Amino acid sequence: MAIFGDEDPFGAAVRKPPAHHEIGQMLDTLSLDELSERIALLEAELARLENARRAKEASKRAADSFFKSDGG
């Protein structure tokens, strides 16, 4: 019977954790597993950002080197 809707028989809401983390969101309702998943997600995103920054820094260094060696 669908009396509880999206809740389990014990009253706790059945929810699927989002595939993203919102900065500043409440963490009180997350389980240890959900917190670990969020940490892994954020670590992967941090690594992606660091890789993008390194690529841009290398590109900027190459451009700076090219224009400085021009002798202009």
> Each residue of 23-58: pLDDT tens digit?
899 999 999 999 999 999 999 999 999 999 999 999
pLDDT for residue 69 is more than 90: no
pLDDT at 53: 98
Which residues, in sequence order, are bridge partners of residue 7? Answer: 13
Q: Where are the domains of the chain?
A: 1-72
Give the span between the Cα atoms of 50 and 45, in whole angstroms. 9
DSSP track, the chain: --SSTTB-TTSPBP-PPPSS--TT---TT--HHHHHHHHHHHHHHHHHHHHHHHHHHHHHHHHHHHHHTT--
